[in-house]
Structure 1
Amino acid sequence: MGVEGKDKQKALEAGAIALSGQLGRTVQRLRKSYNLSLSELSEQSGVAKSIISQIERNDTNPTLATIWRLAQALDVPIERVLQDRDDSPFIEKVSRGDTPILVSDDGKCKLAVTGWIKTVEWLQCYDFFAESGGALESEAHQRGAVESLSVIQGELQVEVGGAKEIVRAGETLRYRADRRHVIRNCTKMPARAEMICILKAAAME
């Protein structure tokens, strides 16, 4: 092999190593974004757990068939697995039909869960809707929890520990959520608000 051929071979090998390193990081990042263990991804993809582990550590060069199986299990195009980089933008869109909806005991209030499932233990976001006369009663959250209610339409009354406050469209109310609290629509018109619950801020300590 001539000098030119050797240089070309070195370039190809360097490219393969770079792709392999990128691939391992991408597979690991996608797996963790879905909260999947190595065993769970192995079961869903049909690729051995040991092979996935080697891919993530960049200890092996997987076949295209293996990459395709992983892409199918992670529900992403194979091009994304091959080309994605650590500095690429994160974009995730959820349709209305896939958004979980919680309903109050009286059936008149609805909470669309708009927050990210990965932050649910410390940060929760909701699109809150209350029909006339609806009430959302919540028990105390953990110590230091705070809720922020930004009314978009109508008017809501918030009761916390015996204290009551009215919040109208265009206003935001923040209050302790580590004690029993109630959100009521006392008007004859529907109301809508954005609700953020910060569970681990310990803001009141």
Structure 2
Amino acid sequence: MPADSKQGAGRGGVNAMGVEGKEKHKILEAGALALSGQLGATVQRLRKAYNLSLSELSQQSGVAKSIISQIERNETNPTLATIWRLAQALDVSIERVLQTTEDEPFLEKTSKADTPILVSDDGKCRLAIIGWIKTVEWLQSYELSADPGGTLESDAHQRGSVESLSVREGELEVEVAGVKETVKAGETLRYRCDRPHIIRNIGKAQAQATMVCILKAAVME
């Protein structure tokens, strides 16, 4: 239900499904800054491990040779889409490209106070943004809490996007393009979210669910 980058504009002035406008810019900018430190050395190490020249990696990834060179010298903050293209060309996971060293463990904790919360227009639904900032362009995760009667409306995400809603407590109804489906505790509902969609708490108690949005179009551009 988060739109495009599920921090859009719909619920409570923001479309919980799409990190749009200033919010999206801030998130992507923070992610790029966090990555810039170790990214250059990692890309260069992987490129040389495959015996690829800058020109060859550029051809395989679709990223300009000059941009790759700047990334390796830590002279630019690449977008997440650029990082994804390089990862595909180097045949490694995004995690591998982003890690500091091959053997160093990765641990990153966000406190409850630092977890952003989006509120629906009716004030009865809350979305805690628990997804990783570095994957916001293609994968977003949220914890949904909805009071009885609460409604969470979301704009359409990018074409080809899919959302997965796993209910832990209560009973929710999802409506997509006029089609409705009920999902109860212990059940998971997946649906296209590249069109306006609505989540309602039709039960008599508060509902809790985990929401994951896969922005297919974002990684296929």
TM-score category of the 2 structures, normalised to the smaller one: 0.5 to 0.7
1:113 corresponding residue in structure 2: 129
Q: Label 1:105 to 1:32 Cα distance change in 2 as closer, same or farther (>3 A).
A: closer
Contact 1:131 1:191 in 2 (8 A): yes
The one-letter code sitting in structure 1 at the alignment partner of 2:128 is: A
> For the pair shown, which has the larger CA radius of gyration, 1 or 2?
1
User: Percent identity at matched positions?
Assistant: 65
1:122 corresponding residue in structure 2: 138
Q: How big is the alpha-carbon RMSD for the aligned residues of Structure 1 and Structure 2?
A: 2.4
1:147 corresponding residue in structure 2: 163
Deviation at residue 86 of structure 1 after TM alignment: 3.2
2:213 corresponding residue in structure 1: 197
Q: Gaps (5+ residues) in structure 2?
A: 1-30, 39-71, 74-99
Contact 2:147 2:201 in 1 (8 A): yes
Where in structure 1 do 4 or more consecutive aligned residues deviate above 6 Å?
A: none
Larger RCO (CA within 8 A; separation ≥ 6) = 2
Q: Gaps (5+ residues) in structure 1?
A: 1-30, 39-55, 58-83
2:180 corresponding residue in structure 1: 164
The one-letter code sitting in structure 1 at the alignment partner of 2:137 is: E
The one-letter code sitting in structure 1 at the alignment partner of 2:161 is: A
The one-letter code sitting in structure 2 at the alignment partner of 1:118 is: K
1:88 corresponding residue in structure 2: 104
Secondary structure, aligned partner of 1:96:
coil
201, 207, 220: which one aligns with 1:185: 201
Alpha-carbon displacement from aligned partner over 1:22-79 (angstroms, at most 9, x marks no partner): xxxxxxxxx96714589xxxxxxxxxxxxxxxxx97xxxxxxxxxxxxxxxxxxxxxx
64, 76, 101: which one aligns with 2:117: 101
Contact 1:111 1:127 in 2 (8 A): yes
If the length of structure 1 is used for normalisation, what is the TM-score?
A: 0.58
If the length of structure 2 is used for normalisation, what is the TM-score?
A: 0.54
1:34 corresponding residue in structure 2: 34
The one-letter code sitting in structure 2 at the alignment partner of 1:108 is: K
Count of residue pairs brought into register by the alignment: 129
Alpha-carbon displacement from aligned partner over 1:130-177 (angstroms, at most 9, x marks no partner): 001100000111100100000000000000011000000000000010
